[in-house]
Structure formats: structure tokens, C-alpha cells
């Protein structure tokens, strides 16, 4: 794979502290990481190592305590809330661990929603785009259903479709398969992989699952709020196996 020189995500000496009353919980303690366009990167690490925190910082839904987070060439510290929201809308797609669909909207409307916020496409263009994606995730027949009429795997596929519908440069996924059985999880990963191949979309996803990691072209291992190393899936798989999995 050929990587262009400019990283699309560039993180430099980032720390993040949470404050629980008077106790300061350091979630990230100086993370430096570069992700280049078109990469398919897995973030691995034990529970509490800071995976979610890191993804939130990249996704501009949270702010770092110190250090620099650059996304698509922009220093997120310098952006107003308005500009950050625009960045999320146009550049980033989110897949949440717990789906987070709007319960009162249908599958179709949920997927269409970011397009409405973008206001770039007209109704028929939106329809075409959404239906094509639903076809791809195998939910074309469920377009009119409400989220609570779907299984967990189907909901996650809706969430994937919603994240991809704006054709963002970066897609962030926090344990996208954690709530799914292995077959459904595999389908989701295949879908992401296809998107990565066809459009060159950058994917950054966190996972516990060694099998899921094998699809990544690099695994960034976190421990205790720090980057341990950046390895190939094979190496990561060995390491995990050695760790007793």
C-alpha cells in the first residue's frame, strides 16, 4: 500500500485527564500517533487503556488536556465549536459501540440524516445514495423499519451505513463488533474493508478481538494511556496469543 506523505490524523504528545470529583484520572499520558489516508488501523489494548478516549479526541467530540490533535490538516484546538461540528459532519464518520440510532426515525431516515445536515444533495440524490448503502449492508428491505424492530447486528449495520453515507475521509469505530456475534461482526468488518478498498476511506477502529485485528493493516497497541507499539496484525496476534487468549 502506498501512503501519501501528509498524515490525515496526527497526534502529538496528547494527554487527557478525567476529573472525578477531586481525583484526576489520567486516561492518556502522552500519545503520539500518525495515521495516513487509506489506512485501516486497529487500536488494541486492555480495558481502560484509553482506546475510547483516543477515538473521541480524533473524532472531535472531546478535547485533549494537552498536546496537539490534527485532523485533516487542522489543529482541533484552534477550531470553534461550530467549525468542529462542521469537521465532524463533513470529514468524519462515527460508528458507536452501542449503535446510537434515533429511535423515532426509520432506518432510511437515520441513514439520510447526515446528508440532510450537509445540505449538499437533493432528495432524489439522497434517496439513491441511501438506498445503495442499505443494499450494501443488506437492509434494503428494512428501510421503513424503526430501529427497535431490528436485531443488534442489523442496527449496527444501520449505524455503519449512517457513518459511511457522507463518504467521509475518516471513519472512527469504537468496538464496532463487540455487541455482535462473530458472523455478523465479520460482515461488518467486510463492509468496512470494502469501503476502504473502493474509496480509500481511512478507518480507525478499536477492538479486543484478535480475529478482527487480523484485517487491519496496522495495529496500534495501547496500555495504560500510552502507545506500546505499532505492529502488524500477525505480530499482534502472536502477542495476544502469548498473552493467553
Q: Which is nearer to ligand ATP, 152 or 200 (CB)?
A: 152
Q: How far is CA 44 from CA 57, 68, 92, 161, 208, in A?
A: 16, 22, 21, 24, 6
> Torsion-angle region of residue 187: left (phi > 0), alpha (psi -120 to 50) or beta?
alpha
Of 167, 175, 153, the C-alpha closest to 196 is 167
Q: Which is nearer to ligand ATP, 20 or 242 (CB)?
A: 20
List 12, 15, 34, 52, residue binding Mg ion (CB under 5 A): 52
Q: Which is nearer to other proteins, 152 or 182 (CB)?
A: 152
Q: Site for ligand ATP (CB under 6 A): how many residues? A: 12
Candidate ranges 43-51, 78-86, 155-163, 179-187; the one touching ligand ATP (CB under 6 A): 43-51
Provide the grid cell at 117.
445536515
**Partner from other proteins, Mg ion, ligand ATP, none binding residue 86, C-beta < 5-8 Å depending on class:** other proteins
List 40, 94, 108, 203, residue binding other proteins (CB under 8 A): 94
CA distance 138 to 134: 6
CA distance 194 to 101: 23
> Torsion-angle region of residue 170: left (phi > 0), alpha (psi -120 to 50) or beta?
beta
- Is residue 176 within the footprint of ligand ATP (CB under 6 A)? no
- Is residue 145 within the footprint of other proteins (CB under 8 A)? no
Strand positions, DSSP E, 21-103 = 23-35, 40-44, 66-71, 74-75, 92-95
Q: Which is nearer to other proteins, 4 or 167 (CB)?
A: 167
Binding site for Mg ion (CB under 5 A): 52
Binding site for other proteins (CB under 8 A): 56, 59, 61-63, 81-82, 85-86, 88-90, 93-94, 96, 100-105, 109, 112-114, 116-118, 162-163
Amino acid at each position: 500500500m502506498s501512503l501519501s506523505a501528509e498524515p490525515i490524523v496526527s497526534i502529538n504528545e496528547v494527554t487527557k485527564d478525567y476529573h472525578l470529583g477531586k481525583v484526576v484520572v489520567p486516561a492518556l499520558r502522552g500519545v503520539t500517533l500518525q495515521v495516513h489516508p487509506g489506512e485501516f488501523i486497529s487500536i488494541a489494548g486492555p480495558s481502560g487503556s484509553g482506546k475510547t478516549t483516543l477515538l473521541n479526541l480524533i473524532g472531535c467530540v472531546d478535547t485533549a488536556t494537552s498536546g496537539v490533535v490534527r485532523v485533516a490538516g487542522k489543529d482541533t484546538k484552534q477550531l470553534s465549536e461550530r467549525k468542529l461540528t462542521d469537521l465532524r459532519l463533513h470529514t468524519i464518520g462515527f460508528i458507536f459501540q452501542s449503535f446510537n440510532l434515533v429511535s423515532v426515525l426509520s432506518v432510511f431516515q437515520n441513514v439520510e440524516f447526515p446528508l440532510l445536515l450537509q445540505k449538499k444533495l437533493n432528495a432524489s440524490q439522497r434517496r439513491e445514495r441511501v438506498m445503495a448503502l442499505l443494499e450494501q449492508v443488506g437492509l434494503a428491505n428494512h428501510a421503513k423499519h424503526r430501529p427497535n424492530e431490528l436485531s443488534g447486528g442489523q442496527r449496527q449495520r444501520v449505524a455503519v451505513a449512517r457513518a459511511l453515507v457522507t463518504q467521509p475521509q475518516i471513519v472512527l469505530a469504537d468496538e464496532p463488533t463487540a455487541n455482535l456475534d462473530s458472523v455478523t461482526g465479520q460482515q461488518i468488518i467486510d463492509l468496512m474493508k470494502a469501503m476502504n478498498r473502493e474509496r480509500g476511506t481511512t478507518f480507525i477502529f478499536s477492538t479486543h478481538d484478535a480475529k478482527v485485528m487480523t484485517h487491519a493493516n496496522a495495529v496500534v497497541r495501547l496500555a495504560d494511556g500510552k502507545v506500546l507499539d505499532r505492529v502488524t496484525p500477525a505480530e499482534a496476534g502472536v502477542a495476544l496469543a502469548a498473552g493467553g487468549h
